Structure 1
């Protein structure tokens, strides 16, 4: 600032202070602005600009007067003019409510969109597991990121999706979770949100597996209307059951304000096509002396019926006889390779059997010479196999086995 400008500014301060102290009433912002406008015509632009900056509001004016306390109400009814902020790039259309409108505005809902990394970093509370081992954790749970390597009894994330499930205008997070147990474990889909403090909170369970059906959750989808879609399957793969044989359905769920309810898709499963009803009956094993070598021989007669309406590609027949009894005779040649190699139990694979068909087989047994065998009982059991040698569903397991005596 030049020396001339400094002098002009000091003189302007002095004149203004003298004028204000001479007034009977303390001027408000409007009176101050009128004074500035009159003097702007008589003074240099530099001094006028300094005065406008000084008198921009009542608080500054009081500072110039060395006054303390709040500013008084304006004495001039002329409306004050507030400096406009920098115009936005998208001005409001004509007739739009102003920012100072008295109409209430809807509070902004917390953002419940959580990434997989954020879920893994947090400790969350889960709804109770409906089935599975009792040690599946539910309180302050730290989730694992890879179900294939998750430790036994820990919860892992299988899938993450997003939807405005509670209709508050903000996105929530839904996650498919697995409690690792053996080769699988129970599953459930859980919805998460944030509270106003930013903490992760649990809304509730969308759907879970059960011991009956569905036993398997396979896919997850969050829809724009707030519906959470889950693909469910009747049977979980494992134990000789391939996942491609499971029946799958998409079901939709919506939040009611208290819980999730199904609103779309089937509510039950029909009979699985990879199933048949196999029945097995057998006769007792009675051993007799073989005079040629001093051994004892006999045969177990087994009748197998296919009571279902699907072809059994093969039947796996097991005989839980003592290890001292060895397979004997030509009938075992139809039982497949290594029929008597791994025992007990003895295993014979037969088939196929058409729907409503049956077969009967007599499997010879031999007790070597000088070998003792106490009388007892054994179980003979049959199981149907489908394509690829996988076991089929049998809805009536009680008739799949029979108990025989041996002596």
Structure 2
């Protein structure tokens, strides 16, 4: 019985354990014991945690076995902000492009010659005078008759700074050998219709009399080539002084911004003055004709010589040239009258010339006393008309009887 006494057996085991604790198992045994105890503690803690979570669920399920167990709410993890990485320049993600602002569409004011000629347009008013249409007028590409608005030049450029081109046209109203001209700017409205912006510059009865050409610079400046005198009537265009003047659109109108504003004296200028005495006819008893002489004095008051002077006498057609006074007047004297014409030779600057021009009335011709004009015009190379600087002394009125 003593060998199998459980109490004795337990005490024997206790003594053995006590002996081990007292004697010590050594370093290796101590480390093994420590690891074993840590594992036991971890396992025990996990078991307690599971019990704490499962126990309430089990209890709730036992109370409500007809309802499924509730799903615990999802926990949204709090994001940890990333550490910023330095960058040389900001970058834009291709998946989210930045919004772009777009300017409103501007009508294109570049108008072809064909469209301009086909449209009825309101032009800026011409200077006072007959025959130049300006309201609902059409332009033509080639002059056909007086009172026609001729399109003589086109240029394109952004003259108002809106980002789109406009059209600038050189328009000439034909009147005889001349007529006024103006440069006009056109655009299109939002409906695509041609509208008139305004006049850039117009010709003048004084100067400039001639608008030669038009261009538009890259910065929107409208450049117009102007000339002091228009060709025609015996004046060649190559004698005209030409200038480029610049005009800019500001405050709803064009104003001159560059270039000269006046012309110097034209080198083909002259000042010829004329005086004349009245014509008195006397009867010739030998043949029944009547004759007389017109004395004409010509002075060159300018610093330029006149290559020749054309003298005209607007006398009645019945009076024919007579005598030696016409000898120096050139060919065809009296062939094309009225008026009677005399082409003199050269008159130097400051010089003068006196003509004694005889006329004869045939026998039996009707003649009534009256008044006539005697005029003188200075001529240059090629016998083209020089510019008369003082027109008031270029003609005189005489009486005849």
- Same fold by TM (over 0.5)? yes
Q: Contact 1:131 / 1:209 at 8 angstroms: preserved in 2?
A: no
Summarize the Cα distance change of 1:401–1:106 in structure 2 as closer, same or farther, 3 Å threshold: same
Partner residue in 1 for 2:271:
277
CA change 1:160–1:336 in 2 (3 A) is same
Q: Find the residue that maps to 1:110 and give its secondary structure.
A: coil
* Aligned twin of 1:142: 138
From 343, 364, 380, the counterpart of 1:386: 380
C-alpha change, 1:374 and 1:119, in structure 2 (3 Å) is: closer
SS in 1 for 2:354: strand
Tell me what 1:214 maps to: 208
- The 3 A distance-change label for structure 1 pair 117 and 399 is same
Q: Aligned pair 1:256/2:247, yes or no?
A: no
Kept in 2, the 8 Å contact 1:379–1:401? The answer is yes
Aligned equivalents of 2:287, 2:120: Cα separation in 1: 73
Describe the SS at the equivalent of 2:231.
coil
- TM-aligned CA deviation for residue 103 of structure 1: 5.7
Query: How many residues in Structure 1 have an aligned counterpart in Structure 2?
Result: 313
Aligned to 1:376: 370
The partner residue of 1:128 within 121, 125, 129 is: 125
TM-fit CA distance, 1:339: 0.8
CA RMSD of aligned residues (A): 2.5
The question of whether the paired residues in 2 share the 8 Å contact of 1:274 and 1:393 is answered with yes
Partner SS, residue 148 of structure 1 = coil
Which of 96, 105, 108 is equivalent to 2:105?
108
Residue 325 of structure 1: aligned partner: 319
Aligned to 1:87: none
1:397 to partner: Cα distance: 1.8
The CA distance in 1 between the partners of 2:101 and 2:237, in whole Å, is 55
- Larger radius of gyration, structure 1 or 2? 2
**2:384, 2:129 → 1: CA distance?**
24
Runs of 4+ in 1 over 6 A off after TM superposition: 96-99
Is 100-109 or 215-224 further displaced after alignment? 100-109
8 A Cα contact 1:285 1:406, kept in partner: yes
1: CA distance between counterparts of 2:314 and 2:358? Answer: 14
Question: Which residue matches 1:173?
Answer: 167
Segments of 5+ residues of structure 2 without an aligned counterpart are 1-88
CA distance in 2, matches of 1:365, 1:142: 52
CA distance in 2 between counterparts of 1:346 and 1:200 reads 54
Structure 1 residues 95 and 168: CA distance shift in structure 2, 3 A: farther
Counterpart of 2:77? none
What CA deviation, in whole Å up to 9, does each residue of 1:148-205 have, x standing for no partner? 33x4333232111111111112111111112233233222111122222322222211
Contact 1:280 1:381 in 2 (8 A): yes
Residue 256 of structure 1: how far off its partner (Å): 0.4
Matched, 1:405 2:399: yes
> How far has the Cα of 1:272 moved from its partner?
1.9
